[in-house]
Every structure is written in structure tokens, then in C-alpha cells.
Amino acid sequence: MPENIAAILPELWIAIGQTFLMLAIGLGAALLIGGPLGVLLFLLSPGQSLANKPVHLVLNWIVNMVRSFPFIILLVALVPFTRLVAGTSIGPLAAAVPLSVAAIPYLARLVDQCLREVPRGVIEAAHAMGASELQIIWRVLIVEARSGLVLAFTVLSVSFLSYSAIAGVVGGGGIGDLAIRYGYYRFQTDVMVLTVAVLVVLVQILQFVGNTAARRLDKR
């Protein structure tokens, strides 16, 4: 084993743990806030049961605006907010704040698109049988779109794994921080190759798990 790689192995494990911490917080925020926001976007859209054009336009604009920011710019722009929430602007917990802010509208848009794939006839049939809005959401929309929702969450997870690496550029910790400090600043190419290989493996694992779960949930 090359000397450089052997020397940074302890730090590599710490960096992987920091990356998973950032992902857990960011993806958790996306599920708790972005998921319901995506459902609301769908229900408020024209032709749906809670259609409200003004509110839908405002929510749609907010989602699109946040998604339009390149993550590195959003990360820097949110430094004051990050300090307010996390008490610091560096480290994995601080990096998780902009990750969460970016993940929420990202998942909201994906959920909105997935729910639009649900046949309208199924929703109308549920309404005709007297189902409440909550019953339609949980027993019709979520059930019918579950395979697509799992794939959407997989896309989010893979994308934000790379975003967490970007957070390392500004001291966010994780695998990206390790790659910058050793692979770039110290010109240790073998360390850079190792961090890239780790990211590739993690992406493959996330994609495989997501595809497998979606395939098993798809009853079509």
C-alpha cells in the first residue's frame, strides 16, 4: 500500500463518517419538508383537488429560485444563516445547513413530477368513493407513485453525495475536504484517486439499493 494512502486511512474513515452525517441531515430535511412540499405543489396545481393558482405560483417560484442557485454559490450565500443555525460556518454540521436548503426544493420538484404520473382516473375514482384528501395522498398518490418516488430519492441521494464533496472546498469536512487538502494542496495524486474511487463506490451502492427497492415496489 502506498505510504500516502496508509497515512490518511484513519482520516478517510472520519471523512466518510462526516459525509454520511451531512447526507443524513440533508436527506432527512428533504424527506420531512421537501416531500410534503412536493405533494402540496401537486395538489395546488391547476386541475387538482386543492387547485389554487396564486399560491401555486408563489411556491413554484420559490422552488425554482432555490434550485437555480449553483450549490457552491448557495453555500457561500447562506454563511450568515448557517452561523445562526449551527453556530459555525465550517465542519460537517455547518455544511449540512445549505445541503438541507438545497435538498428540500430539489426533492419537492421530483415528488411533484412523480405524482403527475399517477393516472387521473385513479384519483377521480378515490374522490367518487368519498376518500378524504389525506386518504388520497397516502393510499392513492403515494402508493401508486412509490416506485418513482424511491427512484427520485435515489437521484437526490446520488446528487447530494457530490454536493457534500463540494462542501469540502469551503471547510465542510467529508471526502471532498480530504481530497482538497491532500490530493490538491499537497499534490498527492494517489490520495485524490482514492477519494474518487470511494465516491464512485458509494454512488454505485446508492444506485443499486435504490433501483432494487424501486423494482420490488413497482407492481405494474
- Could you give the CA distance from residue 6 to residue 137 in angstroms, rounded to a whole number? 51
Instruction: Report residue 3's pLDDT band, with 50, 70 and 90 as the boundaries.
Output: low
Q: In the chain, what percentage of residues exceed pLDDT 70?
A: 95
Res 220 pLDDT > 70: no
Q: What's the Cα-to-Cα distance from 14 to each of 10, 91, 92, 111, 182, rounded to whole Å?
A: 7, 12, 11, 33, 14
CB atoms closer than 10 angstroms to residue 121: 8
Instruction: Report residue 58's pLDDT band, with 50, 70 and 90 as the boundaries.
Output: very high
Contacts 24+ apart (CB under 8 A), 83-87: none
Q: 85-109: per-residue pLDDT in tens?
A: 888 878 888 888 999 999 999 999 9
Res 149 pLDDT > 90: yes
The angle at the Cα of 63, spanning 133 to 170, to the nearest 5 degrees, equals 135
Q: In the chain, what percentage of residues exceed pLDDT 90?
A: 35
Total residues belonging to the chain: 220
CATH of domain 3-217: 1.10.3720.10
> What's the average model confidence in pLDDT over 6-35?
88
Asked whether 68 and 1 are in contact (CB, 8 A), the reply is: no
Q: Where are the domains of the chain?
A: 3-217
> What's the average model confidence in pLDDT over 69-91?
86
Lowest-pLDDT choice from 44-58, 60-74, 127-141, 146-160: 127-141
Q: How far from each other are the two terminal CA atoms of the chain, in whole angstroms?
A: 49
pLDDT value, residue 2: 60
Assessment of whether the complete model's pTM goes beyond 0.85: yes
Q: 161-212: per-residue pLDDT in tens?
A: 888 888 777 666 788 888 888 777 777 788 888 888 988 999 999 999 999 9
pLDDT value, residue 111: 95
Q: Is the dihedral of CA 173, 175, 180, 183 positive or negative?
A: positive
pLDDT value, residue 100: 92
